[in-house]
Chains A and B, each alone.
Chain A
Amino acid sequence: MERNALLMLNEKNNNHQNNVVYDVKNLNLWYGDVRALKDIKLTIRENQVTAIIGPSGCGKSTFIKTLNRMVDNIPSVRTSGEVLYYGTNIFSNGIRVEELRTSVGMVFQKPNPFPKSIYENVVYGPKIHGIKDKKELFEITERSLRSASLWEEVKDRLHANAYGLSGGQQQRLCIARSLAIQPEVLLMDEPTSALDPIATTKIEELINELKKYYTIVIVTHNMQQAARISDITSFFLNGEVIETDETQKIFTNPNDKKTEDYITGKFG
């Protein structure tokens, strides 16, 4: 916190003047008796890409799933501490998890479109949240697919099954599906790990474009990816945050020896 406060004084650095979206304070999480997250402290700011890196099993996926409370669906999960989303603790009683998730979208590791048409996939969110007007739904579809740079590729076959698309297209469809309900935040859990390099590049370009309008948190095990697309990088190890800083700093001059060892490939 102290260092963040210092950085905020730094006039040259616009990044740190952005509004705080998530303020995570001493978050702990247990799967049964196993403590998967230990006293996590992290601040996520508006219109930035925050990358979470770390070796397998370090808790990065668990962490990102806590931000929209998808961990609720896993039996025997317990949490302590606070995750403030625009100042409100997402674990407090008054919070409706469905409402949180309309504001915080999520894209998964494996593309998971519904076994419906491309159009039905995109309008799924708007429909369940009460939009019925056909014209409006179609506008949403076009806007969302354009935002996910998929429109040109699918505009002639909106009513074809989503599973006819390639893996990369499916993942962009999933992004479009999330964007259709206009969230504030987009959580991405290793969104390119199941994709080939060309599809990966497309998604990375898309993320670069999307950060103008959305706050993005991305989990990745690909350090080059984190270096290419993120503004802030947080290094997780064994359920702890080792270091969070500007991406450029993390990859050139990290404060912690463990971060340096990891990014130079000494372990993980």
Chain B
Amino acid sequence: MNHHNNSDNNEKNIGLNNEGKLKTFLNKEITNKRMDNRILLDKVGRKLFSLSILFALTVLAILFYRIGAQSIGWLDLQFLTSNLSIFPEKAGIYGVIIGSFLLMAVVIPVTLILGISTAIYLEEYANKGRFQSFINVNISNLAGVPSVIFGLLGLTVFGRLLNLGSSILAGGLTLSLLVLPIVVVAGQEAIRAVPGFLRDGAYAMGATKWTTVRTVVLPSALPGILTGSILAISRAIGETAPLVVLGIPALILRVPHSIMSDFTALPIQIYYWTLDTVLTPEYANLAAATIVVLLVLLFLLNSVAIVIRNKYQRRY
């Protein structure tokens, strides 16, 4: 209350003081009092924000500790080079890793080609107007649709309609659809960030729109596009639900040899092993070991994204 009065008085006194000299705007007493509060608030803020990151780090540490502890003794060369088995001691994930890689061999080209083309169309060719904003809103919505629903879509269209069953191709196409919106949105943002004066330079040389996109826009947008794409691909690698819906068998004893083979992938295997822990407790260790492999893979992919981003960073 007192505080408030003071500041009122202060406002009236702004201008000249009794001696007719110019008065400072700042009342030292009040400023100092408030300064104390502000500095305190700053300190509290710093604590709160660092606690937030501590929370995330703690969870991550617990995760690492648990899977680390559980996988010790199980994650060895034999585990990486043998195929699945119902006997925990003999089981390995060689076929599962191959399945995941083949899956990516489908997801990466399909997602990149469709996603980047869509982004180019929306940013460079489509007339800016209601239609474009309508499409943009829908793409953003699509990015928020639960992955189970993409699984159902994949089952209906690729599994049944196109009769691809639960093959790698069907799974790959389903995962591509799932992560496509991420690539489109990242691509659009990267393309939009390319300054207009670079395009003008190309147009003024008699370049067509496609030449301009190919020679000027895409090279400049590449880091942004690649970063978004790799994040999308990491998401696809770790996705389980759509593949479960697609009906991937729990136990595949043959290593997949083509994109038409039945398969199982890393996250799926983690899921099934975890489910069966009640019957065979050792499956928990197998699941943990598989998680380590998956995390290492994700870590590598994300590192590649960061390296690419730093390497191709452009300046204008």
| Chain B CB within 8 A of A135 CB | no
Q: Please determine whether A128 and B314 come into contact, CB atoms closer than 8 angstroms.
A: no
Q: Please determine whether B198 and A112 come into contact, CB atoms closer than 8 angstroms.
A: yes
Q: How far is the CA of A98 from the CA of B207 in the complex (A)?
A: 6
With A108-B200, A110-B197, A112-B197 in contact, is A98–B215 under 8 Å at CB? no
Q: With both chains docked as a complex, state the minimum distance between the C-beta of B310 and any C-beta of chain A, in angstroms.
A: 15
Q: Please determine whether A105 and B315 come into contact, CB atoms closer than 8 angstroms.
A: no
Q: Which residue of A lies closest to B127 (CB)?
A: A75
Residues from chain A with a CB closer than 8 A to the CB of B211 are 128
Q: Please determine whether A115 and B316 come into contact, CB atoms closer than 8 angstroms.
A: yes
Question: Which A residues between 65 and 90 are near B, CB-CB below 8 angstroms?
Answer: 68, 70, 73, 75
Q: Which residue of B lies closest to A100 (CB)?
A: B206
Residues from chain A with a CB closer than 8 A to the CB of B315 are 115, 163
With A115-B314, A128-B211 in contact, is A68–B198 under 8 Å at CB? no
Q: How far is the CA of A105 from the CA of B316 in the complex (A)?
A: 22
Q: How far is the CA of A13 from the CA of B105 in the complex (A)?
A: 73
Q: Please determine whether B198 and A129 come into contact, CB atoms closer than 8 angstroms.
A: no
Q: Please determine whether B205 and A115 come into contact, CB atoms closer than 8 angstroms.
A: no
The contact of B200 among A99, A112, A125, by CB within 8 Å, is A112
Q: Please determine whether A68 and B205 come into contact, CB atoms closer than 8 angstroms.
A: no
The contact of B205 among A116, A128, A163, by CB within 8 Å, is A128
Q: How far is the CA of A268 from the CA of B220 in the complex (A)?
A: 39
Q: Please determine whether A114 and B198 come into contact, CB atoms closer than 8 angstroms.
A: yes
| Chain B CB within 8 A of A101 CB | yes
Q: Please determine whether B198 and A73 come into contact, CB atoms closer than 8 angstroms.
A: no
Residues from chain B with a CB closer than 8 A to the CB of A115 are 198, 219-220, 314-316
With A124-B215, A163-B316 in contact, is A113–B201 under 8 Å at CB? yes
With A108-B201, A112-B198, A112-B200 in contact, is A129–B215 under 8 Å at CB? no
| Chain B CB within 8 A of A203 CB | no
| Chain B CB within 8 A of A192 CB | no
| Chain A CB within 8 A of B157 CB | no
| Chain A CB within 8 A of B121 CB | no
Q: How far is the CA of A234 from the CA of B252 in the complex (A)?
A: 81
Q: Please determine whether B203 and A112 come into contact, CB atoms closer than 8 angstroms.
A: no
Q: Which residue of A lies closest to B211 (CB)?
A: A128
| Chain A CB within 8 A of B16 CB | no
Q: How far is the CA of A174 from the CA of B198 in the complex (A)?
A: 11
Q: Which residue of A lies closest to B195 (CB)?
A: A112
With A112-B198, A115-B220, A163-B315 in contact, is A128–B215 under 8 Å at CB? yes
Q: With both chains docked as a complex, state the minimum distance between the C-beta of B33 and any C-beta of chain A, in angstroms.
A: 49
Q: Which residue of A lies closest to B220 (CB)?
A: A115
Q: Please determine whether A174 and B220 come into contact, CB atoms closer than 8 angstroms.
A: no
Q: Please determine whether A181 and B201 come into contact, CB atoms closer than 8 angstroms.
A: no
Question: Which A residues between 114 and 134 are near B, CB-CB below 8 angstroms?
Answer: 114-116, 124-125, 128-129
Q: How far is the CA of A73 from the CA of B204 in the complex (A)?
A: 11
Q: Which residue of B lies closest to A115 (CB)?
A: B314
Q: Please determine whether B202 and A70 come into contact, CB atoms closer than 8 angstroms.
A: no
| Chain B CB within 8 A of A178 CB | yes
| Chain A CB within 8 A of B128 CB | yes
Q: How far is the CA of A263 from the CA of B194 in the complex (A)?
A: 39
Residues from chain A with a CB closer than 8 A to the CB of B128 are 75
With A75-B128, A115-B316, A163-B315 in contact, is A128–B201 under 8 Å at CB? no
Q: Which residue of B lies closest to A106 (CB)?
A: B204
With A115-B220, A115-B316, A163-B315 in contact, is A125–B206 under 8 Å at CB? yes
| Chain A CB within 8 A of B216 CB | yes
With A114-B216, A128-B211, A128-B215 in contact, is A178–B198 under 8 Å at CB? no
With A75-B128, A112-B197, A115-B315 in contact, is A105–B204 under 8 Å at CB? yes
Q: How far is the CA of A100 from the CA of B198 in the complex (A)?
A: 19
Q: Please determine whether B216 and A98 come into contact, CB atoms closer than 8 angstroms.
A: no
Q: Please determine whether B201 and A112 come into contact, CB atoms closer than 8 angstroms.
A: yes
Residues of B that sit less than 8 Å from A by CB: 127-128, 197-208, 211, 215-216, 219-220, 314-316
Can you list 22 contacts pairing A with B, beta carbon distance less than 8 Å? A70-B200, A70-B203, A73-B203, A75-B127, A75-B128, A98-B206, A99-B206, A101-B203, A102-B206, A108-B200, A112-B200, A114-B198, A114-B215, A115-B314, A124-B202, A124-B205, A124-B215, A125-B206, A128-B205, A128-B211, A178-B205, A181-B206
A73-B199, A98-B207 known; 20 new pairs, CB 8 Å cut-off, are A75-B127, A98-B208, A100-B206, A101-B204, A102-B206, A105-B204, A105-B205, A106-B204, A108-B197, A108-B201, A112-B198, A114-B198, A114-B215, A114-B216, A124-B205, A128-B206, A128-B207, A129-B206, A177-B201, A181-B206
A-B interface, 8 closest residue pairs, ranked by CB to CB distance from nearest: A102-B206, A101-B206, A106-B204, A112-B197, A125-B205, A98-B206, A112-B201, A115-B314
